[in-house]
Amino acid sequence: MRSGKAVFMDSSEILSRTDHTLLAPTATWAEIRKICDEGIKYHTASVCIPASYVARASSYTKGRVRICTVIGFPNGYDTTAAKVFEAQDAVKNGADEVDMVINIGYVKDGLFAETLDEISQVKNACGSHILKVIVEACLLTEEEKVKMCEIVTESGANFIKTSTGFSTGGATFGDVALFKEHIGQNIRIKAAGGIRTLEDAEKFISLGADRLGTSRIVGLVQKQEAAEGKHC
């Protein structure tokens, strides 16, 4: 589905499922503050920002938008102890949600018990806060993707997430459909990376994605509003 087709889902519905994201290594506080302001204005599901900005963003937003951050990002090969500390630190600083990257090498080595244990430890560190597990689907075989659906379901995490957006590929329609087929009822899906149009966003949602990780959706809605002559 691409930009030549009409969007039938209301933009507010798409925004309510969007983690408005800025994870560039050059991100400044002024840029993070802008992301927060946009998240508040457009009622996004959260703003997803670097861990070093969580405390400041939490103080700035005062609960008007959920704060999400990333740990073990983007490569996932930090030790489990380091990821647990990062999760604890993020929550202490005001993060409402944590997106962690799995150890992809563990999956390639067939160390599935270790992978499950790591995710479970990070979830324990997050407590009642939402944990999303980034599996970097572009680097996995179909068999490995299915196995990660099973592991994430068992782990106690809240979401399986397709991608960091910093590897060789982002979310695909096929991966979201595959995840939907194999995850447990308690697990939701976050599609992230490469969501370039509102049509893409709607398609991912229709396939089963409950969240979208993207830096583009708010800008697309702003352009849509400008074209329609809205002044918000």
Catalytic residue annotation: 99, 161, 190
Bridge partners for 68 per DSSP: 48, 97
52 DSSP assignment: G
Paired tokens of 56: 């400041």
DSSP conformation letters of 61-130: HTTSS-EEEEESTTT--S-HHHHHHHHHHHHHHT-SEEEEE--HHHHHTT-HHHHHHHHHHHHHHHTTSE
Tell me if 67 sits within 8 A of 47, measured CB to CB: yes
> Could you give the angle at the alpha carbon of 104 between the alpha carbons of 102 and 108, nearest 5°?
140
Q: CA-CA distance, 36 to 21, in Å (whole number)?
A: 10
Q: Could you identify the residue written with the tokens 């604890």?
A: 88
What is the identity of the amino acid at 23? L
Q: CA-CA distance, 209 to 188, in Å (whole number)?
A: 7
